[in-house]
Every structure is written in structure tokens, then in C-alpha cells.
Structure 1
Amino acid sequence: MLVPKSKSRKRTPDRRRVAAARRLRPAVDLAGLAGPSGYRIRLAQPADAAAVLRLLPLAEPTIGEDGALMLGSPMLAQGLLQAHRQRRTEPVLTGLGAKSADDLMMALSSLLVAVDADGAVAGVLMSLPPVRVLGQAIQAGVPLPEILLAAHTVIKIKGVAVDEAARGHGIGTALINACVQLYTGLGWHAIYGQIDKNSDLEDYYTRLGFTVLASRQGISLAHLVTFPLAIHPLRGERLFVHWADGAGQPA
């Protein structure tokens, strides 16, 4: 990952990461992907804010406004867009004008939308680094370059929602697949999310290539980064995770 030179320092490369980098697929076309039933998958735009605010609460009641705020940030997905424009296989964080760690996290985050032939938004997916866990690491004194390495290791699917009138066309599946392709194509090792522990979605995510973990089982990433990093489910939740290179370890 290309980071501001003033903030980088030498580290011992992880052989898994080097090997995985050699196997990277080209990043997803951020200008838009053909989806099912004539829909297209693309990055959200400011004009999509009303639809994002309306749809995301279908996934989780509290994240609609978060999505609208993300769309209001000029940093949203900029690290991904720069990689696409420069034909790189890793995110680019140099030259973005980032003023804080939050800006850099936003540059690695994305909102994907599914739009119909008329441009109407029928589905949305929010993804971002695990900012709560990484924020705790920053407070514990972990240097920013190591935080950015971790942010380029794991991404969270915070929510995916499809308009009720558009369900049954595979839009949610297309959004999730596009998210996985986008981030693994730029070198991420793990994409994860959470479901209610009593959810009936286990088979769905399994069919999409995720492993649904047992209650209270977490994800360890310490073997891929330079500090102890693990993600644990909140009470009443289970995690699901997709490993890009088979490098997963339980926490």
C-alpha cells in the first residue's frame, strides 16, 4: 500500500502477503459492473444520499445517517479510486490531502450501490476498516503505519440492504461479490461482517464463500500485522469471514 512517505517506516515483510500479492486479480472496475436483471453495481455518488439514507437502515437501524455522512466526505474511497486510475493492485494514500487517521480510514472505505436502467438506487453496501478496533490500537500507541497496514488487511461489511420492491433478483449477492472482488483485488486478506446469532443467513453467506463462525468465536489477524489484532463478535452476534488466501486463524 502506498502511504505518505513521512509516515512510513521499515518493517519485516510477511511472506504470506508477498505471495498473495503475486496472485492478485485486477481490481473491480469502479466505473460500474454489470449486475443481475439489468442492474449495475458502482460506487455511490453524492446524489445517491437520499437512497442510501433510506435503504441502509433496512440492514441496521443506526447506519443510515453514517452512510449519508460518508457520502459527504471528499475522502470516501479515494485510496481505491486512485489505485483504479493508476492501475495499481494496492490502495494509494499518497497525495490525497488526508489530515488525520480518520481521513485515511475513509479513503479505504466504500459505499457500493446497485442501480437500475434509469439510475434509481435499489441496493447499497457499506464497507469500512474495523475503525473501533483500530481506534483502540491507536490509543494504545500503535504507530500509524502499522494501523494502515492493518486497515489494508481486513475490511468490514457493515451493512447490505436491498429495496423491498427489487428483492429476488440477486442484487444483494451481486453487491457482496463486488465488495469481495474490489478489496481482494487490491490486496486485502479478509472481508468480514456480523449476523445475529439466531439468524437464518448462515447458508446464504456460506454459499457466497464466507465461513460463518460459532458464537463467541473471533478472527485473529496477528499473523498478518505487527501487533496483536483480533476481532470478536458483540454479544448476540456471530461473525462471517472470507479469506482471500487461506490465511485465516481463529481468535
Structure 2
Amino acid sequence: MGGKTAVELTERKLLNGWASAPRVRIRQAGVNDLDHFEWITDMAGAPFEKPLREAVAEGLAGVGLRAGLRAGNYRAYWEQMAPRFPGLIKQGLSPLMAYMDAALVLVADHRDHGVVGGLIAYPPVNVAESYIGILEANGATSETLQKTVLGMGMFLTRIKAIAVSEQARGSTVGSSLIKRARQIYFHLGYRTIYGAMPPTPGLEQFYNRAGFTVLDPDEPVDLRFMFDDDRKIFPDAGERFFVRHNSLQ
């Protein structure tokens, strides 16, 4: 977690942006970017959920990530985030609230054309809630529930949406978005980043070039790196997962 990458991955860079394609910067989305996410999520085939929209509008999306980047190390991120999860479980609330602290919402901002692309990533809320339900039905202890939600929130994240406008296709915008997402999460101690792709021509090559492994149809993401048991995440019908593990972990 040292060297040039660590220097570039700062809170200031996240807010002000990294140079990408000519005249394009990759930066955190703000309230003025919200309208652009209608076409971004429509193009990606993923909803722009109300809690995420509200978190972006209020400047709360990714506050945990920013704390880690501000301090320059993953320990600061863990210190910011770890207390959030046990408290939510005790209150019977969805992990979605805490996971918004770990949400990364990026835009590719062209100097002349405005926002030409975007990316949304955060820990998989539906997967966490599914496991909570199973564990509760089996009489799991509060400690086990907390471990599950904490593990999902601190070590695993999912790319929910990534899209690039027609005018920016063929540039490095898409690869730059996913590169920064991967670097930020891995810098802050995440072990795996993954997403689901439809059978669209060219997507497998895109994710392979970005350093991800595209799994076979119906092949799950294995979660044994987080838990002692044989937990897996399976793709929906017609989708395939792309996944990358953090080699530093």
C-alpha cells in the first residue's frame, strides 16, 4: 500500500479528480451530478436507489472511504466503519445505512461535455440481508450476525453500475472508472470487488482488460476468504460475475 498509488489515493484527489482520457477527470459525484445518474443507471440496467441518491445529495455517500483516504491507511477506515455495524444490528436496521458510508459514486467529467460516464459501487446489501435471515432462522448469536455484516461491509464490495456515454466510447473512460474504484477499495483493505454482467458483446473483453476474471455462467463468487463455512454468491439468470481479489491481502 505504498508507492505512487498510495500517494495518488487521497481524499483531495477523490474530490478534485484524477486525469483520465483527454480533458476528462474521474472524481466523486456530488449533488450537482445527480441528474446524470438517471441515464447512467438506465444504461447500466441498475436502479439508482433512493437511499444512495439521498446519501449523495447530503454528502454522506462514502464518508467512511474518505476518512480512510484522508488518514492515508486502511486502519483509519476500519476505525471509522467497524463501530457502525454492530449498532445497526442491535437496532434491527438494514446494513444499507452503514453501507452507504462505504459507497463509491464516481463520475467521468469532461471539460467541454460535462459528465460522460459514471460508476456506483458499495457492499452487497441484499447478500448481507439474505445471510442475516438465514442465520437468524438458525438461531445465530448476535456476535455471529455482527461478524457477517461487518465482513460483508469491510471486505467485499460490488460494482452496481458502470456506464459511458456514446460520445466517450472508445476512450479510456470506462477503464479509468473501474481502475479507480478497484484501487480505492483495495487500498482500504477490501479483499474482493465483483459485479454482474449481462451477455453483451465486448463486456468480457472489457473486464478482462481491466484485470478482472469473468466467471463461467452460474459460477458463484466464493466467500470462504471471509467466512469459515462454504458461503457463495450466485449470479441471476443470464448474468455472469466478474471478480478481482486483492493480492495484497
Q: What TM-score results when the alignment is normalised by the length of structure 1? A: 0.79
Distance (whole Å) between structure 2 residues aligned to residue 64 and residue 57 of structure 1 = 9
2:234 match = 232
- Give SS of 1:187's match: coil
Mapping of residues 138-153 of structure 1, within 5 Å: 138-139=132-133, 140-141=135-136, 142-153=144-155
| Contact 2:40 2:118 survives alignment (8 Å) | yes
Mapping of residues 141-180 of structure 1, within 5 Å: 141=136, 142-180=144-182
Cα deviation, residue 235, structure 1: 0.7
Using the TM superposition, name which of 135-144 and 181-190 deviates more: 135-144
Instruction: Give the letter aligned to residue 202 of structure 1.
Output: E
RMSD over aligned Cα atoms: 2.8
* Structure (1 or 2) with the greater helix fraction: 2
1:28 match = 9
Distance (whole Å) between structure 2 residues aligned to residue 81 and residue 175 of structure 1 = 17
Change (3 A) 1:86 1:95: farther
Change (3 A) 1:181 1:22: closer
Change (3 A) 1:229 1:150: farther
Alignment of 1:106 with 2:94, yes or no, is: no
1:7 match = none
Q: Which has the higher contact order (CA 8 A, sep 6+)?
A: 1
Distance (whole Å) between structure 2 residues aligned to residue 199 and residue 103 of structure 1 = 35
Instruction: Give the letter aligned to residue 170 of structure 1.
Output: T
Cα deviation, residue 224, structure 1: 2.4
- Give SS of 2:35's match: helix
Mapping of residues 58-69 of structure 1, within 5 Å: 58-60=43-45, 62-66=46-50, 68-69=53-54
Q: Which runs of 5+ in 1 are unaligned?
A: 1-20
Distance (whole Å) between structure 1 residues aligned to residue 108 and residue 63 of structure 2 = 20
| Contact 2:106 2:119 survives alignment (8 Å) | yes
Q: Which runs of 5+ in 2 are unaligned?
A: 137-143
Q: Give the one of 100, 106, 115 matched to 2:109.
A: 115
Using the TM superposition, name which of 193-202 and 33-42 deviates more: 193-202
- Give SS of 1:214's match: coil
Q: Give the one of 205, 209, 231 matched to 1:203.
A: 205
Distance (whole Å) between structure 2 residues aligned to residue 69 and residue 42 of structure 1 = 18
Mapping of residues 4-43 of structure 1, within 5 Å: 26=6, 28-29=9-10, 30-31=14-15, 32-43=17-28
Cα deviation, residue 127, structure 1: 0.3
Task: Summarize deviations over 1:56-95 as a string: whole Å, max 9, x none.
Answer: 21111x4145553442355310110111222222422278
Q: % of aligned pairs identical?
A: 28
Task: Summarize deviations over 1:187-242 as a string: whole Å, max 9, x none.
Answer: 11111111124643112211111111111100111232355532111111111101
Cα deviation, residue 42, structure 1: 0.8
Instruction: Give the letter aligned to residue 74 of structure 2.
Output: T
Change (3 A) 1:239 1:246: farther
Alignment of 1:81 with 2:66, yes or no, is: yes
Distance (whole Å) between structure 1 residues aligned to residue 220 and residue 96 of structure 2 = 25
Task: Summarize deviations over 1:30-52 as a string: whole Å, max 9, x none.
Answer: 23211111211111101111112
2:141 match = none
Change (3 A) 1:109 1:234: same
